[in-house]
Amino acid sequence: MASDVEKKTMLPNMENRTLMARLGLPNWDSPEGRVWVNRLRDNVPFIAITLVILLFWFISGDRFMSVRNWTFIAQQTPVLLLLAFAQLLVVTTGSIDISVGSNLGFSAYMAALGMLWFGELGFIVGIFAAMLIGVLNGAIFSLFKISSFVTTLAMLIIVRAVLVIVSDGRSIYVSDQPMSNSNITSIEAKWLLDLGQFPQILYFTVLVAVLLWIVYEKTVFGQQLKALGGNEKVLRLTGISVNWFKIQVFAAAGFMVGLASFINLARSGAATVQAGEMLELDAIAAVALGGTVLTGGYGSVLKTVVGALTLTIVANGLTIAGVPPSWSRIARGLLLIIAIAISLNRKQIDIVKATIAATKLSRFKPIAGKP
């Protein structure tokens, strides 16, 4: 027979089940209930953005829902989204890169210098600079066994300091015609300014998103990303050089940062010392809002798009509603906390890791002699 303690525990559960049945809702402790919970969790990014849009539509009406405002949102989102893509690659492996904001500022300035030195194609210098910083992050993190947080935090500080030294506090402007003022450093690149306008900037971002989705979901590289985040030991057993792969991941993230810096230069029309400040936190928030598990092993390109768009809409909606910028940052911070709380489900993480481990063992062929 059940003890008094067991009876006291069972009665509330029975009452809850009865109430759920009367309301026509599934019992969350049952297999059917767990399926509903998982479906709800998987769709949190889409539910969140829908609620945010409805909220600001109710508050601001046509000012928020106007074509002009949504065009502005489409122009504002790409830089954050590309940085979030860089963060997605790293976070999927169970690491983090908080240097992406400083990297963006530095690589944008190097792109502008490259165009001054070598002409229009000189922007490639900025992309290579961003990838180099990514390689340095990956090498220090993997070879010296220093945590990715500490490594990229140090790189954030170093890169921002180097940017100040290289720029000497001077900005480089992009113009559509020669500038006569000798005190202003500028580059003539109308095509770049055009790229930063709607709809060209949207086309560019969609193309990058589609290509990344293919890499992330349909290639061996993408599967290895998830395998590394799911269970590093299993990936080692397949013969993959994990240290070298980590460097590749950070280099790929650096490439995405390079693209973000290129678009930021096109969008803002200037390479400044302040470019990219605090964007590393927004990139992490976008990834978390997209439902990516911050301990690694799982992620989604599409949901990261939704996460970045949600952040941009929140900032835009609060501005239209007349909320001060400081309160806007608080709201976005609260969104980050909520997103992490929802996505960080230990049982789900364990299931993901176990599934990935079993799948990867059957897909990857061992390579002898690899550490």
- Asked if residue 7 is part of any domain, the answer here is no
Q: Which residue in this structure is represented by tokens 């904001």? A: 101
pLDDT number for residue 343: 61
- Asked if residue 16 is part of any domain, the answer here is no
Instruction: Answer whether residue 352 shows pLDDT above 60.
Output: no
The 10s digit of each residue's pLDDT in 194-212 is: 999 999 999 999 999 999 9
- How many domains are contained in the chain? 1
Instruction: Answer whether residue 1 shows pLDDT above 90.
Output: no
- pLDDT higher for 35 or 49? 49
- pLDDT higher for 176 or 46? 46
The CATH number of whichever domain residue 241 belongs to comes to 1.10.3470
- pLDDT higher for 1 or 338? 338
Instruction: Answer whether residue 354 shows pLDDT above 70.
Output: no
- Asked if residue 87 is part of any domain, the answer here is yes
- Asked if residue 19 is part of any domain, the answer here is no
Instruction: Answer whether residue 85 shows pLDDT above 50.
Output: yes
* Domain containing residue 255: 45-363
C-alpha to C-alpha distance for 41 and 19, rounded to whole angstroms: 23
The 10s digit of each residue's pLDDT in 214-255 is: 999 999 999 999 999 888 888 888 888 999 999 999 999 999
- Asked if residue 52 is part of any domain, the answer here is yes
- Asked if residue 249 is part of any domain, the answer here is yes
- In one-letter notation, the amino acid at residue 108 is A
29-35 mean pLDDT? 63
- Asked if residue 12 is part of any domain, the answer here is no
- Asked if residue 18 is part of any domain, the answer here is no
